[in-house]
Amino acid sequence: MAEQTPPRTYETPPTERPITEAEAARSAGLAHNEHLKIASGYLRGTLADGLLKHATGAISEDDGQLVKFHGMYMQDDRDIRAERTKKKLEKAFSFMIRLRIAGGVVTPKQWLALDKIATTYAGGALRATTRQTFQYHGVIKSNLKRTMAAIDATLLDTIAACGDVNRNVMAATNPAQVGAHKAAYQLGKDISDSLLPKTSAWREIWLDGERVVGGEEEAEVEPVYGKTYLPRKFKTVIAVPPSNEVDIFAHDLGFIAILDDKNEVTGWNVTVGGGMGMTHGETDTFPRTADVMCFVEPEDALKTAEAVMTVQRDWGNRKVRKNARLKYTIERYGLAAFRAEVEKRVGKPLADPKPFTFTNNGDRYGWTEGDDGRHHLTLYIPSGRIKDIDGGPQLLTGLRRIAEIHEGDFRLTGNQNVIIANVPAEKRAEIEALVDQYGLQKGASALRRNSMACVALPTCGLALAESERYLPDLMTELETSLASHGLQDDEITIRMTGCPNGCARPYIAEIGLVGRGPERYHLYLGAAFDGSRLGKLYGEDVTASEIKTILDPLFAAYAKNKQPGERFGDYLIRDGYVTKTINGPDFHDKIGPLKSAA
């Protein structure tokens, strides 16, 4: 008789709203960021004064936390940090600015304006992120207000693109399902608008807007968030099967479209409790795939989104920040209790989830005709970096030329690629000619098509190892290995990050590499091709030069022994090379190779 798993024991959820008074927060031992938020005057802090301090390119440490809510991170160029320190110079500080673009859709006019901002203030590059939006890098402090004013002029903003709030909402981009895409985009935009912080601090600080008299004292200035906002970041995505290109299981809250036989949305399965980040060496932190909690009718989706977020607002851990995400809240109190509280706040019982199937979490490259007769072209953008490459694709110039004549829209994908969408049949040849002229890529090798990397060095202050700059070279090595085993056309997901925060979602890639130090990585294997299962730590502190050596015999075994249609991650589990990860809590159990691949 099989051994029975003992039932889980969960804690009793809290019944009070979060503490918002400074003295009470100190007495309760809340995390430092909670005190910052309470004292910030709804995200103002001393940011306005700090921008006037021209003797430094930095802002204060506390303002560095608050500015995230405004869509920014302060960074410095780590490639020249040592040299500047030797010369007793301040670090080369600059800012990363992330836009809020629900569903990743922009007009050609907006594209051209964002391009101009990139060439004026951000080193001639736009970066499409894994959050289906744009980032600018290298904006110096003296140009921040000019950059923000230029972004505002495009009718876009950066509010809540970072910070302890509902961040940029991702939505399915599959252009072949026009009606479903429209429904997914609209739900994403509605959630983004509904859960947006109401403080006027962004406009006051960056656009010299008028301050609402007594605004920071108004108890209702943040009717949903309150003074302390959320315990940690909160990420929402909308998926349309069979494609899971938004990686729905990697996020706090998700909506999976349930379609009828005409591809129309009849409602949404709701997922909760996914998240990628962890801390090396601390097993009480772990990535987690989301649970499919319930099914909601279309008219209840927005209310359900707010209910899920407010339960996390009230139940999330505000004492230990590393355990503050929704994934830990559900592990602490249980899915059943969480669902019951969501139903209470929605005001009705919610139905159980309905069947659905995902087949992959990648993009469709090349031309696709939608069911409305309009055409869509997905371009491969290596690591999302939109710039002109010497001797290679002229991505920035080429897309600028396309934006000048395009009549549809542009869509960013969760895989850092760009879709030239809604092209009338008669304009397709003109677009195609520009794609060819500027060497834009309508695809790449099977491995590169399913790759992602975070920015990492030199700008990200959290990076322990290279990612974006190294992954292309590694893929060249691995492509040689795959081809030697006849696997050059096999689709395998590979993702790399410079630190364990997991911005490129490596833990749900069939080959996941997470930075540990200079040229050292943890290697994770055994995740599912559709993004529904976490990988398992296979190799610890693997040097860059060892990665191919470790993977080559596994590729050989896969080529020899795989079953028809079997994916690489599934094969490694079936043939006993790595343990299957069920979910977050067992992520750190039974790690390492189960048998030799030599």
Point out the residues that are catalytic. 98, 167, 233, 235, 454, 460, 499, 503
Binding-site residue numbers for [4Fe-4S] cluster are: 454, 460, 499, 503
Contact 11, 330 (CB under 8 A): no
- Structure-derived torsion over alpha carbons of residues 217, 223, 229, 233, reported in degrees to the nearest 10: -150
- In 20-65, DSSP assigns E strands to none
- Output the six-digit token pair for 6: 């003992």
What residues have CB less than 8 Å from 116, skipping those under 6 apart? 150
Q: How many CB atoms lie within 10 A of CB 250?
A: 28
H or E stretch at 32:
helix 32-39
Residues in CB range of 436: below 8 A, 6 or more apart: none
The pair of three-digit structure tokens given for residue 364, joined into one six-digit string: 């469709």
| Residue numbering of the annotated binding site | 454, 460, 499, 503
Binding-site residues for siroheme, in ranges, read: 503
Burial environment of residue 564 by CB neighbours within 10 A (0 to 12, 13 to 18, 19 or more): exposed
Contact 453, 468 (CB under 8 A): yes
Q: How far apart are CA 514 and CA 497, in angstroms?
A: 5
CB 75 within 8 A of CB 94: yes
DSSP-derived 3-state class of residue 538: strand
Q: How far apart are CA 363 and CA 521, in angstroms?
A: 26
Among residues 423, 587, 544, 559, the alpha carbon closest in space to that of 485 is found at 559
Q: What is the largest CA-CA distance in the chain?
A: 72
Residues in the chain: 598
Distance CA 508, CA 503 (A): 11
Give dist(CA 477, CA 474) in Å, integer.
Answer: 5
CA distance 290 to 507: 13
Q: Quick check: bond before 553 cis, omega within 30?
A: no
Q: Which two tokens stand for residue 103?
A: 């569903």
In terms of phi and psi (left: phi > 0; alpha: psi -120 to 50; beta: otherwise), the region of 166 is beta
CA-based angle 73:120:439, to the nearest 5? Answer: 100
Whole-angstrom Cα distance, residue 296 to residue 258? 10
CB atoms within 10 A of CB 299: 8
